[in-house]
A and B are shown apart, each in its own frame.
Chain A
Amino acid sequence: MVADLLSQRLDPDLWGHKAARLSQVADLGLPVPPGLCLSTAALAHGTSEAIASLRTWLGLYRPRRIVVRTSSILEDGLEHAQAGRSVSLLNCPPDASALARVIDQDLLSQENLELLSGGCVLVQEQVEAPLYGVAFHSQDRLLVEASQRPDGATAGMPLRMRARRDTRRFRASTGTVLVPSLTLTAQLHPLCRQLSTHFGFDVDVEWAWTGATVLVLQVRPITRAVLEWAS
């Protein structure tokens, strides 16, 4: 089975939470990078059909770089996020055969196949952006961490900006070079509020900031309370 992330609401039991939620975010009209979902069941039976599907998808969206991620019903749950358990492969080339090899060699290990049971491999355009990060939203308060690297904030690398925002007040700290961005958090706040309302839980959102738009890369529930919210 193959599914275009942006054109239908995906069933989490078939495609995993990550892909299913992103398909809902796209359906809400919010910006999500284009992606193709390849079911693990289909991949387990060979990659020729997957390569053909990837080739078509690459021709349609013409991404410059690709990130390959897993999406499973066992990840990003309400109680256990399993954040960072599965592999995200950054900077993959926009070549169908090469992507199929990467998926086969690096993602479809026995352990991952078990994890991905009832899930998919998500092949997605890797967004080129000056800032990437994570935003937690709860009770209309926002906590943001930003990095220059796509996986910087999630991997615990040194941050470029840390910001807190509630309905009125904004506080942020950066290094000596970057200036805190009001526009970014002004866009993130209502976006996260909308996602919290839609999904019915406090959200942990991975995002990319192009300078004009916030792109949603992932949505999962906040599984444990964060101590430091906006004052």
Chain B
Amino acid sequence: MSGWAKVEAVNTLQAHGLLRLPVHVVRRPRRMSPRTLRDNFSQHPLLVVRTAADSEERNLPRLVGATPAAAAQWIIDLAPGLSALVQPYEQVLFSVELAVYESLVVAEIVPGIWELDSRLTPAVLVFTDEGLELTVPETSLQTARFHDPRHGTRQRSARVNDWQLATIAAWIREHRRHLTALCEDLGQPFGLKLHHSSRYGLSAQNIRSSVPEPETWQQDTPALPDNAVPLSSTDAPLPDGPVLLDVSVAREEHARLASFIDRLHRAGTPEVYLRSGLLSHLAINLREAGITVRNAHG
């Protein structure tokens, strides 16, 4: 399973009772009509449009907080070969990346929106049959990113709180059976991206085919070596020893990230350390390039 088509992911989530918010799939964008969106989302003045393709599934165009009329026109103007997934616009309070294994579920949580260039250190909640384990490597406030229709994207200080953790714990308990069934159907562990909004609570957004080995969560990973060299630019020369990757690449600059990861790969870099999450977009991209991703916090 290399790269999940978003449309297939939506269908799978729906079939397993994991899709909370309504998603309208537009397979033929040029036939889109504003009326279709108005009829499908009559209760929702603003929409989000994500796009999907069979070949490239990461960092495709998207539209956030658009009226149905604007969304319809944007869909009509999409490049050939893209499908559109339309869903209600909701302000995201916090984001979760789940890793689902046969007998283990792990949630990485950050306040606000979690995107490719996020440097937030997530809280990690590990669920086993015996209980919960919570690790918060950074308990102080972090600069998180939020979006609202009036101001667009804004940054403010935030941290994960008890109510959010309890919400995630309750969601996983409620959906554990569905998650396990999906894991069995897929035949392998998988990742799940979730957003929390006031109206829908936690809602699954996408399925990830790449998750770390389960042992990653069950024991402390080696601490960041003293000789680890911080790398804060994708253009910087690659060190010979262990690398602490401290880069931030916007989703619009995914090509730059791909080029950098290719450089790491060709240089034979076996592993890197991240302060951000092991389930973050950056970590996903690195793992898919065959690079072991370790937690800099140990």
Kindly specify which of B37-45, B54-62, B159-167, B247-255 makes contact with the partner chain.
Answer: B159-167
Report B2 CB to chain A, min CB distance, Å: 35
Q: B45 to nearest A CB, angstroms?
A: 35
A165 touches B139 (CB 8 A): yes
CB atoms of B138 and A168 under 8 A apart: yes
A186-B134 Cα distance, complex, nearest whole Å = 14
Chain A residues whose C-beta falls within 8 Å of the C-beta of B162 in the assembled complex: 179, 181-183
A183–B162 Cα distance when bound, in Å, is 7
| A85 CB–B CB distance under 8 Å | no
CB < 8 Å: which of B130, B133, B298 contacts A172?
B133
What residues of B have a CB within 8 angstroms of the CB of A172 in the complex? 133-134
Interface flag for A176 (CB, 8 Å): yes
* B140 CB within 8 Å of chain A: yes
Report how far A172 CA is from B132 CA in the complex, Å. Answer: 8
Instruction: Chain B residues near A165: list those with CB within 8 A.
Output: 139
Identify which of B129, B133, B139, B298 contacts A182 (C-beta below 8 A).
B139
Instruction: Give chain A's interface residue range (CB within 8 Å of chain B).
Output: 10 to 19
Q: Contact: B138 with A171, CB < 8 Å?
A: no
Check A170–B130 contact: CB distance below 8 A.
Answer: no
A33 part of interface (Cβ distance < 8 Å): no
Contact B134 A170 (CB under 8 A): yes
B131 at the interface (CB under 8 A from A): yes
Task: Give Cα A175 to B140, complex, Å.
Answer: 26
Task: Using A165-B139, A169-B139, A186-B139 as known contacts, say yes or no to A180 and B132 having CB atoms under 8 A apart.
Answer: yes
Cα distance A179–B132 in the bound complex, in angstroms: 7
Whether the pair A171, B140 counts as a contact (CB closer than 8 A) is no
Q: How far is the CA of A180 from the CA of B298 in the complex (A)?
A: 20
**CB-defined contacts of A175 to chain B, threshold 8 Å:** 130-132
| A-B contact number at CB 8 A | 58
Contacts A182-B161, A183-B161 given; does A170 touch B133 at CB 8 Å: no
Complex Cα–Cα for A178 and B140 (A): 23
Main SS class of interface, B: loop
Task: Collect the chain B residues with CB atoms within 8 Å of residue A105's CB.
Answer: none
Task: Give the complex CA separation of A175 and B138 in angstroms.
Answer: 23
Query: Which A residues are CB-close (under 8 A) to B265?
Result: none
Q: A168-B138, A182-B139, A182-B165 are in contact. Are A173 and B132 (CB under 8 A)?
A: yes
The answer, among B130, B136, B160, B169, for a CB contact under 8 Å with A169, is: B136
Could you tell me the distance between the alpha carbons of A176 and B137 in the complex, rounded to whole angstroms? 22
Contact status A170-B169, CB under 8 Å: no
**Which residue of A is nearest B131, CB measured?**
A175
Contact with B along A21-64 (1 / 0, CB 8 A): 00000000000000000000000000000000000000000000
Chain A residues positioned under 8 Å from B160 (CB to CB): 182
- List chain A residues, Cβ under 8 A from B169: 179
> Does B297 sit within 8 A of A, measured CB to CB?
yes
The answer for the CA separation of A186 and B166 in the assembled complex, in Å, is 17
Q: Are B297 and A169 in contact (CB under 8 A)?
A: yes
B135 touches A174 (CB 8 A): no
Residue of A nearest to B126 (CB): A173
Which one of A174, A179, A182 lies within 8 Å of B136 (CB-CB)?
A: A182
What B residues does A139 contact at CB under 8 A?
none
Q: Mark A166-206, 1 if CB is under 8 A from B, else 0.
A: 00111111111011111100100000000000000000000
In chain B, positions 127-186 with a C-beta closer than 8 Å to chain A are 129-140, 160-162, 165-166, 169
Task: Supply 12 further A-B pairs (C-beta < 8 A) apart from A169-B137, A169-B138, A173-B131.
Answer: A168-B139, A168-B140, A170-B135, A171-B136, A175-B130, A176-B129, A179-B132, A179-B165, A180-B165, A182-B134, A182-B136, A182-B162
Interface residues in chain A, defined as those with a beta carbon under 8 Å from any beta carbon in chain B: 165, 168-176, 178-183, 186, 231
| 18 cross-chain CB contacts under 8 A | A168-B138, A169-B135, A170-B135, A170-B136, A170-B139, A171-B134, A171-B135, A179-B134, A179-B165, A180-B132, A180-B134, A182-B134, A182-B139, A182-B161, A182-B162, A182-B165, A183-B161, A231-B298
Sorted from nearest, which 7 A-B pairs have the closest CB atoms? A170-B136, A180-B134, A175-B131, A179-B166, A173-B133, A172-B134, A179-B169
